[in-house]
């Protein structure tokens, strides 16, 4: 049975202080229509600028996730996004009257509670998922971060942290069912940091809204702890002490492994920036916001490839490619005898493309180039590269079939080897600039792993209908 998209039934609000800025912020969650997605709105600014909850708008991951667009910022959105994604809400408008979401008790639970109070509403359209069909790996060796995403029928997370700390040690947890576990077992887990981090961040002018009540503060070395300095930094007059647990004031934990559970919450919030729910098992070791965001970028690109395939590819894919010739002809106006791309092997939207052209003796140009010594004309190798670039460029438009790509310049053309019947021509192009419908590519064409030709190509996109 298909899962349907979700929103909420009525607007609802919550307010508090931002963790880093210390600014008061009121948030109002409002229902949104089908396929709207999650949208943040700064209603305190002129024209109410909007920022989609999308990984493309992440600008900072210093102790949280910041979104920005056209100079407008919203800080520390991960707990809100975790609540939304944990409740499997697809469409929502989030109004803020300041530049940072409130920290509240340091968990996602207050946001979960108000969204549940607004009541979840199913919408008359099925959800779209990102289905992972091959393992995806991200690692940072210098920081000991490893994340593997593997195929799964449901969204699952297994998380391990090892702080090499006598206080925290190694913590592990696993989420296997969002419906049954997120609200009670993960959303209440609070944010945390080490005492030395608190002092450093406070001295840098951050965590202005931080207090001993909205985060778990861990002291890893009681001998070096300066409690009086901590009290001055937070303007605290009451007693402050290092508990037997190593936690300031012996704050009771909500779970024995609360810290790693909060890491799962942060990961859920950051992965929500892909823009579509994920069906996969994420296995993470020592991951934080920086790694989460990089993983989300990788997964977003995987989603864009699959969306291209599902939108244009009709026949089942039988190999390692994303578009066949029938799908290619939906993008390109070229036809026999001038269509020089047989398959798109790989494509990352707005970045690069890899295409294939099978060169056979039946090509019309071999009749005259050259009789008895068939060689593919160099200009047609460049044309094959150009058509590959046009595919990449046109994919950036909502309706590529309504546009044409005209090449306006060629530079640094070099031919390295001949291309003959029986060769498979692989064209690889990278988009190095895109501005106002014009772009620049750096391309190479290969045969058997050897460069056959290379060039820099420039192109412009025009509306097909305006040129009739």
The contacts of residue 86 (CB under 8 Å, 6+ apart) are 108, 112, 178, 182, 183, 186, 187, 265, 268
Q: What is the reported pLDDT for 320?
A: 83
Give average pLDDT by consecutive 10-residue segment, the chain, 468 residues: 91 94 95 97 97 95 88 96 98 97 95 98 96 94 93 96 77 96 98 80 73 79 70 75 81 92 97 97 95 95 88 79 92 94 93 96 95 96 96 88 92 97 97 92 97 97 78
Q: Which residue carries 């040690």 as its tokens?
A: 169
Q: What is the reported pLDDT for 297?
A: 95
Closest C-alpha to 395, from 457, 344, 458: 344
Closest C-alpha to 106, from 212, 181, 226: 212
Helical (H) or strand (E) element with 325: helix 325-331
The contacts of residue 418 (CB under 8 Å, 6+ apart) are 375, 376, 452
Closest C-alpha to 58, from 233, 275, 280, 246: 275
Q: Cite the active site residues.
A: 289, 369
Q: What is the reported pLDDT for 222?
A: 67
Compute the distance between CA of residue 183 and CA of residue 215 in angstroms, rounded to an integer.
Answer: 19
User: Residue 130 in contact with residue 302, Cβ under 8 Å?
Assistant: yes
User: Residue 288 in contact with residue 312, Cβ under 8 Å?
Assistant: no
pTM of the model: 0.84
Q: What is the reported pLDDT for 1?
A: 63
| Environment class of 101 (CB within 10 Å of its CB; exposed 0-12, middle 13-18, buried 19+) | buried
pLDDT tens readout for residues 425-452:
999 999 999 998 899 999 999 999 999 9
> Which domains are seen in the chain, by residue range?
4-126 (3.30.230.20), 131-310 (3.30.1700.10), 313-467 (3.10.129.10)
**Cα torsion angle, 69, 72, 78, 79, sign:** negative
Compute the distance between CA of residue 228 and CA of residue 222 in angstroms, rounded to an integer.
Answer: 13
Q: What is the reported pLDDT for 468?
A: 56
| Environment class of 438 (CB within 10 Å of its CB; exposed 0-12, middle 13-18, buried 19+) | middle
Cβ–Cβ contacts within 10 Å for residue 106, how many?
22
- E strands, 237-277, are none
Q: Which residue carries 């979700």 as its tokens?
A: 6
pLDDT tens readout for residues 387-419:
999 999 998 888 888 899 999 999 999 999 999
């Amino acid at each position: 049975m298909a899962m349907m998209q979700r929103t909420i039934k009525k607007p609802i609000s919550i307010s508090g202080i931002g963790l880093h800025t210390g600014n008061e912020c009121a948030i109002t969650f409002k229902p949104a229509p089908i396929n709207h997605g999650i949208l943040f709105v700064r209603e305190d600014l002129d024209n109410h600028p909007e920022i989609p909850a999308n990984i493309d708008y992440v600008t900072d991951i210093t102790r949280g996730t910041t979104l920005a667009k056209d100079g407008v910022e919203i800080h520390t959105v991960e707990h809100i996004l975790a609540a939304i994604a944990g409740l499997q809400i697809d469409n929502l408008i989030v109004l803020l009257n300041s530049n940072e979401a409130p920290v509240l008790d340091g968990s996602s639970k207050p946001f979960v509670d108000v969204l549940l109070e607004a009541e979840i509403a199913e919408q008359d359209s099925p959800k779209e998922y990102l289905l992972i069909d091959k393992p995806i790996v991200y690692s940072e060796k210098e920081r000991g971060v490893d994340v593997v995403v593997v195929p799964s029928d449901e969204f699952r997370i297994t998380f391990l942290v090892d702080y090499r700390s006598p206080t925290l040690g190694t913590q592990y947890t696993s989420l296997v069912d969002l419906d049954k576990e997120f609200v009670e077992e993960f959303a209440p887990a609070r944010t945390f940091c080490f005492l030395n981090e608190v002092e450093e961040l406070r001295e840098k002018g951050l965590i202005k809204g931080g207090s001993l009540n909205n985060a778990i503060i861990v002291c890893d070395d009681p001998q070096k702890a300066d409690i009086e300095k901590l009290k001055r930094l937070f303007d605290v007059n009451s007693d402050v002490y290092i508990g037997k647990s190593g936690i300031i004031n012996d704050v009771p934990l909500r779970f024995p492994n609360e810290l790693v559970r909060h890491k799962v919450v942060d990961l859920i919030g950051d992965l929500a920036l892909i823009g579509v729910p994920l069906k996969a098992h994420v296995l993470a070791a020592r991951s934080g916001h920086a790694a989460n965001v990089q993983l989300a970028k990788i997964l977003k690109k995987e989603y864009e490839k699959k969306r291209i395939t599902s939108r244009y590819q009709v026949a089942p894919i039988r190999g390692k490619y994303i578009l066949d010739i029938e799908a290619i002809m939906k993008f390109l106006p070229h036809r026999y005898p001038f269509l020089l791309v047989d398959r798109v092997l790989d494509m990352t939207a707005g970045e690069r493309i890899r295409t294939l052209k099978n060169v056979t003796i039946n090509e019309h140009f071999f009749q005259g180039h050259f009789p008895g010594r068939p060689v593919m004309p160099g200009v047609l190798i460049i044309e094959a590269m150009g058509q590959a670039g046009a595919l990449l460029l046109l994919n950036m438009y909502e309706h590529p079939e309504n546009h044409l790509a005209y090449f306006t310049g060629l530079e640094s053309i070099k031919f390295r080897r001949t291309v003959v019947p029986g060769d498979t021509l692989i064209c690889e192009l990278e988009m190095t600039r895109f501005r106002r419908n014009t772009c620049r590519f750096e391309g190479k064409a290969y045969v058997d792993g050897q460069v056959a030709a290379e060039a820099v190509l420039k192109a412009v996109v025009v509306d097909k209908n305006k040129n009739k």
